Amino acid sequence: MHRESPLRVRVEDLTVAYNGEPVLSGVNLEFRGPGLVQIIGPNGAGKTTLLKAILGLIKPARGRVLLDGVEATGRPEMVGRYAGYVPQNPSAPKLSPMTVREFVETSLRLRGVTRSRERAAEVLHTLGIRGEVLESRLWELSMGMLQRVFIARAIAPDPKMLVMDEPLASVDPAGRMEIARIIAGLARERLVLMTSHEPSLLLGHTDIIVIINRRLIASGPPEEVYREEVLRRVYGESVARGLVLAGEGGAHG
């Protein structure tokens, strides 16, 4: 748990371009854990690009990323000491013989974590991954269960920050509710950054909403930012109204 040493993430004037075309321009943000940050915006808004820049996987054209005041821009190995990552729509190689238990244990061993077997068992049990599932091959799992296994792998080293790209996508409704419950619990112990097309499911557990559309539109507590007049600026009137109505239910979830 990291309540006594919260991670501070600072993004300064972040600009990312692909083939000379800006994808993000002049983004400035600051977060401190523990807590949940939801990053939202329409398709092509730059949400995944922002996450990858924070993880050091993309070197920006301009600007920088600081973790606890230390330069982390374009340094994935350094960021990896702080962060666990769950990619969008994680997939399992069809020919991989690895079981769920082996997948998490191997990840810990590669990171030099001692007592990897015990730590893997503890995390898997905490996330409700038990019994016969532990010996299942990754490719045998449903998308919802596979997502939970990837979350287990990401948090097994006990990182200060968990970064998740659309963790609720491609999962059935029951699976989405379970994963949302898991995320809410994890955010009580560490900083969780996630992109989402369904912010309402976790709105009541969210500390900061970030709205981007190739630039920063708004950032702040949901009660200040998740408002129809703000959402209309990026989604249009009908979609913005639908998001607000869904959020009125999700805020009490």
Q: Give the C-alpha separation, 32 to 189, whole Å.
A: 12
pLDDT, tens digit (0-9, with 9 covering 90-100), for 221-241: 999 999 999 999 888 888 888
pLDDT at residue 2, rounded to an integer: 46
- Provide the pLDDT for residue 251: 56
Which residue positions in the chain have pLDDT lower than 50? Answer: 1-3
Handedness of CA 67, 71, 75, 81 (dihedral sign): negative
- Dist CA 104 CA 205 (whole Å): 27
Cα–Cα distance, 110 to 116 (Å, whole number): 10
The residue type at 73: T
For residue 148, the SS3 value is: helix
Distance (Å, whole) CA 2 – CA 25: 32
Q: Give the Cα separation of 252 and 232 in Å (integer).
A: 23
Amino acid 47 reads: K
Per-residue pLDDT, 3: 47
Decide: 183 and 202 in contact? Cβ < 8 Å. Answer: yes
How far apart CA 210 and CA 41 sit, in angstroms, is 8
Dist CA 208 CA 228 (whole Å): 16
Domain 8-86+162-250: give its CATH architecture. 3-Layer(aba) Sandwich (3.40)
Would you say 178 and 190 are in contact if contact means Cβ atoms under 8 Å apart? no
